[in-house]
Structure 1
Amino acid sequence: MRRRLLGVAVVLVAVASGLAVHVGAADTAASDIAGDALYVIAAWGGLVALFPRWSSWLVGEIVLVWCVGVELFQLTGLPVRWAGEWPPIVLVFGTVFDARDLLVYAVTALVIAGTDAAVRRPRRRRLSD
C-alpha cells in the first residue's frame, strides 16, 4: 500500500511541477529538459501506483518505451495537429520531435529506476530477516 501511495504522490508532485514549468518558465532548453524529466517521473509514478509489485527495472523499461514511443509518434504530425484543436493535449503528446528528448528520457528512467531499486532492496532484506 505504501508503494501505491508513493506512486500517487509522485504523480501529483510531478504533474504540478510540470505545469509550473510549462506555464511559468521561459521556453528554454533547461525548461524543456525539466519538463521531459518530469514527464518520465509522472509516468513512473503512475505505473507504480497501478502496479506496485512490479520491479523497479520493469517499470523503468516500460516508462522509457512509452516516452520514446510518444516522441516518435510526434514524427507523424498528429500531436501538433491535435494541439491546434485542443491545446492541453500538448501535455501528454508534446508537439514536435526532438532527439535530445530521447536522451533525457533514457537518463531519467535509468536514474529513477536505479534509485527505486536501491531504496527497495534494503527494505526487502529487512523484511526477510
Structure 2
Amino acid sequence: MRSRLLALAGVAAALAVAFAIRAVDDGALRQYSGTALYASMIYAGVFVLRPRTTPLVAGAVAIAWCWAVELAQLTGVPAELSARSLLARYALGVKFDPADLAWYPVGVVPLVVAHLLFRRRKFHAVTRQDTLAGR
C-alpha cells in the first residue's frame, strides 16, 4: 500500500511540474520537458499498477509504452481521439515527433538509476543493522 501511495505521489508530482512549465513556457522547454515528464509519470504509474515491479522492468515498460503511443500517432487514431477529448490529447498526443522517441528515456532512465541506488542503499542499511545486531 505504501509503495502505491509513493507511486501516486510521483505521478502527481510529474503532472504538477508539467502543468507548471506549460503555464510559464510556450517553446521547446514546454515540449520536451512535457515529453520527459509524461514518461516519468508512466514509470510511476507502473508501480501504481504493480508495486513489486523491479525498476529495470518498470523502466522498460514505461519506455516501451511511450514509444508505442508515439508510433501509434503515425496512424492518425490518437489525433482523432484527441480532437474529441482533452484527456486523450494529454494521454495519446496528436502528431508523431521523432525527437520524442529520444526524450522518453530522458524522463525514465534517471528515475531507474535513482530507484536502484535507493534500493541498494536501503539494502546495505538493513544488512548493516542485521550485522550489528548479530543476526
TM above 0.5, yes or no, is: yes
Equivalent pairs, count: 128
| Structure 1 equivalent of residue 133 of structure 2 | none
- Where does the alignment leave 5 or more consecutive residues of structure 2 unmatched? 131-135
Aligned to 2:6: 6
Aligned equivalent of 2:68: 69
**Structure 1 vs Structure 2: percent identity of aligned residues?**
32
Deviation by residue 1:72-109 (Cα, 9 ceiling, x = unmatched): 01000111111222233110000001111010112222
Q: Which amino acid aligns with 1:7?
A: A
CA RMSD of aligned residues (A): 1.6
Deviations 1:28-64 (A, max 9, x none): 1111111011101111111122222211111000000
Partner residue, 1:20: 20
**What does residue range 51-70 of structure 1 map to in structure 2 within 5 Å?**
51-70=50-69
Q: CA deviation at 1:11?
A: 0.7
Distance 1:65 1:84, change over 3 A: same
Please tell me whether residue 127 in structure 1 is matched to residue 115 in structure 2: no
Q: Which runs of 5 or more residues in structure 1 are unaligned?
A: none
1:121 shift after superposition: 0.9
User: TM-score, structure 2 length as denominator?
Assistant: 0.85
2:47 corresponding residue in structure 1: 48
The AA in structure 2 aligned to 1:91 is Y
Please tell me whether residue 38 in structure 1 is matched to residue 15 in structure 2: no
**Greater displacement, 43-52 / 71-80:** 43-52
SS at match of 1:53: coil
The structure with the largest alpha-carbon Rg is 2
Name the CA distance, whole Å, in 1 between partners of 2:94 and 2:21. Answer: 16
Following TM superposition, the consecutive aligned residue runs of length 4 or more in structure 1 with deviations greater than 6 angstroms are: none
- AA paired with 1:11? V
Give the Cα–Cα distance (whole angstroms) in 2 for the partners of residues 36 and 25 of structure 1: 16
The alignment status of 1:103 with 2:102, answered yes or no, reads: yes
How many Å separate the matches in 2 of 1:82 and 1:49? Answer: 25
